[in-house]
Chain A
Amino acid sequence: MADHANGMFPLALREVGFSAAGLSIVRKLHLTLDAERRTVMLGPNGAGKSVTLRLMHGLLKATAGEITWGGQRIHPAAQAMVFQRPVLLRRSARANIEYALDLAGVAQAERTARAAAALDRVGLGHVAQRPARVLSGGEQQRVALARAWALAPRILFLDEPTTSLDPAASREVERIIAEIAAGGTKIVMITHHLGQARRLADDIVFMHDGCITEHTPADQFFRQPQSPEGDAFLKGELP
């Protein structure tokens, strides 16, 4: 996987657009993401962040333009996504991770150990045997993160992973994301939480009305955004 993964970057969007039912959701997206930095996507509701994330992950197919990985029109497998609301199967926390490993082609003998290790890393080793769906919201999201982590993705997409969590659970999720990133996984995350963006982001992709208005290093974005929309957003003037 490593050889293949090294060639994954940059992830590049060129003239990418997506429309559904005659309605243009995002258009003319240009973006180049490298393998290293933690990218956070900001923007008001309806800006097209979620759709863009899904286009990159491959859940949606672009209706215009092209998305390339390492210069090629491929769809690498070494990626994972964590959603706003964790979707866990009605089985134990560990079995949920084993299921994902099974789909990823990991040999049966290896699955249990890898799933258990992933749960340990998110601090949930003690609930490995518990049914995933009866865990608390924060714990469920951590299982979802452990599931993504166990897959050892080269890039991890996160769509507002802490939106439905309380502050303590959010901080725990942030800690895990930072740790996944420290292990060499590229992070691309959507959040509505500016404090979280400040803590986690190396660079910011700002979207407004279906377009990317800027892609700026985080410290610069929070000091002096390059686009009027980004500026208005930080001042709380965008809805």
Chain B
Amino acid sequence: MSTLSEGFSTAFGLMAGFDARLLGIVGLSLRVSLTAVFFGSLIGLPLGASVAVGRFAGRAPVTVLLNAFIGLPAVVVGLLVYLLLSRAGPLGEFGLLFTPAAMVVAQTVLITPLIAAFTRQIVADAWREYREQLKSLGASAGRAAFTLLVDTRFSLVTVVLAAFGRAIAEVGAVMIVGGNIDGVTRVMTTTIALETSKGDLPLALALGIILVGIVIIVNAAAHATRQLAQRRYG
């Protein structure tokens, strides 16, 4: 109990004091995960919509794989990206390992299937309702997929948020490919893991509280936006 209360007071102390180190860690976490969400969405949204609308051989296995990869273990993704980016790996020449860029790559790989799978589901449901109308109007499959993405945008916000939540909360992938280097690749989750193992529980807890707080704030903002938009557009 005392650890808990100590954690809260440490958290507030750090936040109130705008602790530079803390800000650096939080900032890097946000930067890495938001960038990963950006690229994940860039790939996952069109991919999911194409699988939902398109009629091609192998659509069923692709759907199964996407759904299965929602739960991809972060450490496994970290390991794969590590092998890709390590000096001997196929992408080793870029020297990305143990940089924030490597962490972005790992988190993008982690969340793209999640975004694609949920997008596929949402767009497929909408497609059932819109299909005849859009075909009647003469929309091509590509145009239909794009139209559906635009029309389900409020539901897709939730998908993108879930992806952000997964990215910012995972520790396995960023730990492996980032290396948890102080001031360079140290993010909130890796710091929490480190401080916990060092025994500095109040600091670890404080970071945990801030992490959860950020996730709640982002979700609240998105929820409010969605409510507003839905009232407006139906």
The interface of chain A, by Cβ under 8 A from chain B, is: 54, 57, 59, 77, 80-81, 83, 87, 89-91, 99-100, 103-104, 131-134
Contact = CB atoms under 8 A, between A and B. Distances in A.
A104 B129 CA distance: 21
Contacts of A80: 136-137
Contacts of A90: 150-151, 153-154, 233-234
Contacts of B143: 103
Given A87-B129, A134-B233, 12 more contacts: A57-B136, A81-B132, A87-B133, A89-B147, A90-B150, A90-B154, A90-B233, A91-B233, A99-B147, A133-B234, A134-B232, A134-B234
B151 A103 contact: no
A59 B138 contact: no
Chain B interface bracket (under 10, 10 to 19, 20 to 34, 35 or more): 10 to 19
A81 B137 CA distance: 8
A104 B137 contact: yes
Query: Looking at B133, B147, B154, B232, which has the most chain A CB atoms within 10 Å of its CB?
Result: B133
Interface of B: 129-130, 132-133, 135-139, 143, 147, 150-151, 153-154, 232-234
18 contacts: A59-B135, A80-B137, A81-B136, A83-B132, A83-B133, A87-B129, A90-B151, A90-B154, A90-B234, A99-B147, A100-B137, A103-B137, A104-B138, A131-B233, A131-B234, A132-B234, A133-B233, A134-B234
Nearest to B132: A59
Contacts of B233: 90-91, 131, 133-134
A54 B147 CA distance: 22
A98 B176 CA distance: 51
A104 B139 CA distance: 9
Contacts of B153: 90
A10 B135 CA distance: 23
B234 A87 contact: no
